[in-house]
Amino acid sequence: MSISRDRETVPALVEEYSRLLSFTAHELRTPASVVGGYLRMLQTDNNPALSERQRTLVDHAARSCARLVELIAEVSDVGKLDNRTAAMHVETFDLFTDLVEVAAGCVEGRDRDVTFELTGSSSGAPITGDRQRLSAAFGALFRALLREQGVPVAICAHRRIVHTGGQTAAVVVVAPASEVQRALDRPAASFDERRGGMGLSLPIARRVIELAGGRLWTPLPDTDADRGLMSSAVISIPLTG
């Protein structure tokens, strides 16, 4: 197959893949909705009333069913983001300012003495993209990296403006406070989106960042034992104007 033929084939494959995800989500959504509906009926029907044990089991099943519905919606969203049919409300806003509210909602790790704070520039980072989706993307990244810290550590999301290759970008480094500069200096490695308990929020986050013209990567560690960098991430999004 020629290179030109490959370039023609890739968009068609992406479109077919996105259609498959959309079809799968649709087929799963209907039975999940039916199961969820019956579970809600059991939760509210008092004739006869459920025993305490039965209610506990039904409540657990209802929460799991609701999570399945969320995952199905995420599968559909991945497909729509890949074929550029997802609803996007594009606007220009200050990323660094918006991250204050995002970070305030990230409390994972506090029970293990993992602290989290924003550092660096507090404003001056105008970018263009879907504000709500980008906030959700950064929130998912923050929570994922905080969740996997196994020991007490100070994690920060360091904000700075970087000029490189003729481009000015807003850069956010999420890393242990002592590793921020090294995370910026190390070569880029692929970010692992397959983190347990996060559903598809991280694959969605990467796609949303890329649709804003940005990049997401993990700093390449010096050794396999270098947990400080392996549990870090760097996000770069070009400034507007």
DSSP β-bridge partners for residue 91: 129
Work out the pLDDT band at 67, boundaries 50, 70, 90: very high
Distance CA 79, CA 167 (A): 30
Q: What angle do CA 67, 69, 59 make, to 5 degrees?
A: 50
Query: What per-residue confidence (pLDDT) applies to 35?
Result: 94
Query: What per-residue confidence (pLDDT) applies to 57?
Result: 95
Phi, psi of 34 (to 5 degrees): -65, -45
**Which structural domains are found in the chain, ordered by start?**
3-82 (1.10.287), 90-238 (3.30.565.10)
By mean pLDDT, which of 1-10, 20-29, 105-114, 182-191 is the weakest? 1-10
Kindly report, residue by residue over 112-152, the tens digit of the pLDDT: 999 999 999 999 999 999 999 999 999 999 999 999 888 89
Distance CA 211, CA 61 (A): 36
Work out the pLDDT band at 54, boundaries 50, 70, 90: very high
Count of all residues that appear for the chain in the document: 241
pTM for the full predicted model = 0.84
Strands of 114-120's sheet, edge to edge? 114-120, 153-164, 167-176, 233-238, 215-219, 188-189
Arithmetic mean of pLDDT over the chain? 88
SS3 194: coil
Distance CA 22, CA 19 (A): 5
List all residues 6 or more positions away from 138 whose beta carbon is below 8 Å from its beta carbon: 99, 102, 157, 172, 205, 235
List all residues 6 or more positions away from 24 whose beta carbon is below 8 Å from its beta carbon: 75
Residue 4 reports pLDDT greater than 60: no
| 224 compared with 38, residue with greater pLDDT | 38
In contact, 146 and 109? CB cutoff 8 Å: yes
Phi, psi of 240 (to 5 degrees): -85, 135
pLDDT above 90 as % of the chain: 61
Work out the pLDDT band at 1, boundaries 50, 70, 90: very low
